[in-house]
Structure 1
């Protein structure tokens, strides 16, 4: 998989979108080459966290902080509703293909919305916070959970590194 490099841009838009691309690709790389069974394996007991759970959780983060807040339209959630842990818990191999497809689709919609902004200090469509604040929240979520993904992947097959 060809991954986004660490950003070299020093302007705000290039740096923030570059780090977002970098961290998205880092999670994709942690999932690459694994079977569906491995993607739903809770490999670091007693935690029940899985790589697929991280993908589903970050799909919800993209939906909430980027798609919904930048568009101003509440599209709802993909996974969480009555069960706030439905993105992370009780996953099985039948969910893998659709969950990965949905993650990539959500990222594409988010990228289209991000591209409409040439000033990240502007308020997002919901008026809750600036575009910058929403993007930084998503980058932070990816960075945090990529640390989890590193551990999960290493426990599955010994793969280490970015």
Structure 2
């Protein structure tokens, strides 16, 4: 059974001739949408499966992890917001799925966290420094880090999705 509660989101290719901020945020938004696109149409059973048997990665676990990445880098460390930590000591990466998790709930949390991230950096300049204690990185660094991490996990999602149902593509 296909999970119809996850709808692919519109993906807009990032501008190729814009300023630095628009290029960085455009690429990150494209990759964020790709994450949702890659899991759209999967059932919970498929999304929680481990099609690459030597790996513990699941499509749902990757999206759950990226939700924590967004919160950690943009809202907690960069903006200095007092929010719950996205991971536990027992599961520091946030990949583990709970019995009550569903793909729809995980994707909803991810898209909401992406919106929170956009709001957390909306008025900041690329050279602005992180506000959380002990952090000195710039918004430029945070954006490029989250771009590379999201892109890497989009590659993982490509592989997992192909193993699950043969779907490939950008």
Using structure 2 for the length normalisation, give the TM-score.
Answer: 0.86
What is the alpha-carbon distance in structure 1 between the residues aligned to residue 17 and residue 118 of structure 2? 18
**Equivalent residue of 1:5, what SS?**
coil
Segments of 4+ moved more than 3 angstroms: 90-95
What is the alpha-carbon distance in structure 2 between the residues aligned to residue 160 and residue 3 of structure 1? 16
**Counterpart position of 1:44:** 52
**Counterpart position of 1:145:** 153
Residue of 108, 129, 149 corresponding to 1:123: 129
Aligned length: 160
Q: Greater helix percent: which structure? A: 1
Return 5+ residue gaps in structure 1 as ranges: none
Over the aligned positions, Cα root-mean-square deviation in angstroms equals 1.8
Indicate conservation of the 8 Å contact 1:30/1:149, yes or no. yes
Indicate conservation of the 8 Å contact 1:40/1:92, yes or no. no
What is the alpha-carbon distance in structure 2 between the residues aligned to residue 84 and residue 94 of structure 1? 15
**How do 1:1-162 residues align onto structure 2 when only pairs under 5 Å count?**
1=8, 2-78=10-86, 80-85=87-92, 87-92=94-99, 94-117=101-124, 119-126=125-132, 127-162=135-170
Using structure 1 for the length normalisation, give the TM-score.
Answer: 0.90
**Equivalent residue of 2:102, what SS?**
helix
